[in-house]
Amino acid sequence: MAPSLKGALGAPRGEFFKTLLPYSCPEIYDGICSKFSFDHTDGLVALRTANYRIQFYSLFDDREMSEVQICERNHQPGDEVRVIVTLVSLSKDGSMMSTVEVKLPEEGLGGLVCLKFWASGPQNKNFSLSTVVYEPHRDARISSLAFHPTRQMVASLSYGGDFKIWVCSDEIQPKHEVLQHSGWMCHAVGSYKNKPMTAAAFSGDGSVLAVAAENVITLWDPNNNALVAVIGEMQMPIATLSFAGKSEYLVSVTQGSKPQLSVWSMSELSESWSYKLHVEAVTCAVDSSSFAVLSLLGKDGVILLFNATDPVPLAMWSVRKAQGGGLAFLNSDQLSNQQNILDRNRPQALLVYINGDHEYVIFDPYNIEAKELSLTRPGSRVAPDETGHFGYSSIYGELPKFDIKRDQTVAPSAPSQRPWETIFSGSSHELPPLTKLCSDFMESLLERRTAMVE
Q: What ranges make up the beta strands (E) of 29-127?
A: 37-39, 44-48, 53-58, 63-69, 83-90, 96-103, 112-119
Q: What is the pLDDT along the chain (454 residues), one digit of tens a residue?
A: 333 333 333 333 333 445 556 555 544 444 445 678 999 888 899 988 877 889 999 898 888 888 899 987 766 666 677 788 899 999 988 899 999 999 888 777 778 899 999 998 766 678 999 999 999 999 899 999 999 999 999 999 999 999 999 999 877 655 555 445 578 999 999 999 999 999 999 999 999 999 999 999 999 999 999 999 999 889 899 999 999 988 999 999 998 899 999 999 999 999 999 999 999 999 999 888 999 999 998 889 999 999 999 999 999 999 999 998 999 999 877 665 555 444 555 567 899 999 888 889 998 898 765 444 343 333 333 333 444 555 555 555 566 665 555 545 544 545 555 555 555 555 555 556 666 666 666 666 665 555 555 5
CB-based contact 192:168 (threshold 8 Å): no
412 in helix, strand or coil?
Answer: coil
Tell me whether residue 398 is exposed, middle or buried, using C-beta atoms within 10 angstroms of its C-beta: 0 to 12, 13 to 18, 19 or more.
exposed
Backbone angles phi, psi at 281, to 5 degrees: -155, 155
> In Å, how far are 10, 156, 264 from 133, measured between CA atoms?
50, 12, 34
pTM, entire model: 0.74
Which one-letter amino acid corresponds to residue 138? R
Q: If we measure between CA atoms, which residue out of 242, 306, 235, 315 comes closest to residue 276?
A: 235
Domain boundaries, the chain: 12-363, 413-446
In this structure, the strands spanning 290-297 and 300-307 are antiparallel
- Is beta strand 216-221 parallel, antiparallel or unpaired with respect to 226-231? antiparallel
CA–CA dist 446, 449 (Å, integer): 10
CATH H-level, domain 12-363: superfamily: YVTN repeat-like/Quinoprotein amine dehydrogenase (2.130.10.10)
Q: What are phi and psi of 344, to 5 degrees?
A: -70, -20
Residue 348 neighbours by CB distance under 10 Å: 14
> Distances from the Cα of 212 to the Cαs of 37, 218, 231, 241, in angstroms?
20, 6, 10, 8
| 371 within 8 A of 11, measured Cβ to Cβ | no
- Enter the DSSP assignment of 106: B
Distance (Å, rounded) from C-alpha 57 to C-alpha 40? 12
Among candidates 297, 348, 362, which has minimal Cα distance to 16?
A: 362
Strands annotated E in 357-421: 359-363
Partners of residue 217 on adjacent β-strands: 212, 231
